[in-house]
């Protein structure tokens, strides 16, 4: 015959498994869906950056060296692309732990 403590322990373990397994499955499905959306967005951004680079090259070729406005517009495209790529490189990694670059200034890290 099992003692009351063992019965309670088994019941709590069964309750934990009954709650944890559906949560884990739902979390997995959500993360998999999110990863797919991020991959699709990444492809779209890369295509948009390529289009922007081609448009910038076209402006550079058509404008010549005489127009200051065209020079500024031609430099703006690569600058925007570089800025967005730099932002994406320092964004929160997939594990969800933000890097030190994302911490608010003046706040000390507590560990």
Q: What is the pLDDT of residues 26-51, one digit of tens each?
A: 999 999 999 999 889 888 888 888 88
3-state secondary structure of 92: coil
**How high is the pLDDT of residue 64?**
57
Give a yes or no: residue 95 inside a domain. Answer: no
**How high is the pLDDT of residue 104?**
47
Give a yes or no: residue 25 inside a domain. Answer: yes
Q: Which pTM was predicted?
A: 0.43
Q: What is the pLDDT of residues 56-105, one digit of tens each?
A: 777 777 655 556 666 777 777 788 888 888 887 777 666 655 555 444 44
- Summarize the chain as % helix, strand, coil (round to 5): 75, 0, 25
**How high is the pLDDT of residue 29?**
94
Evaluate the CA torsion angle 100, 106, 107, 111 in order and state its sign.
positive
Give a yes or no: residue 72 inside a domain. Answer: yes
Contact 45, 84 (CB under 8 A): yes
Give a yes or no: residue 96 inside a domain. Answer: no
Give a yes or no: residue 23 inside a domain. Answer: yes
Number of domains within the chain: 1
Give a yes or no: residue 104 inside a domain. Answer: no
Residue among 59, 60, 52 at smallest CA distance from 77:
52
Contact 93, 99 (CB under 8 A): yes
Give a yes or no: residue 105 inside a domain. Answer: no
What residue numbers bound the domain in which 43 lies? 4-87
For 51, 69, 94, 98, the CA distances from 104, given in Å and listed in that order, are: 35, 37, 20, 11
């Amino acid at each position: 015959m099992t003692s009351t403590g063992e019965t309670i322990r088994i019941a709590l373990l069964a309750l934990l498994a009954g709650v944890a397994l559906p949560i884990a499955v739902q979390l997995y499905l959500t993360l998999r869906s999110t990863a797919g959306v991020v991959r699709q967005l990444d492809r779209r951004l890369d295509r948009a950056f390529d289009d922007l680079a081609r448009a910038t090259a076209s402006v550079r070729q058509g404008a010549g060296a005489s127009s200051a406005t065209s020079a500024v517009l031609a430099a703006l495209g690569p600058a925007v692309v570089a800025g967005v790529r730099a932002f994406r490189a320092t964004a929160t990694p997939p594990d969800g732990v933000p890097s030190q670059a994302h911490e608010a200034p003046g706040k000390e890290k507590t560990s």
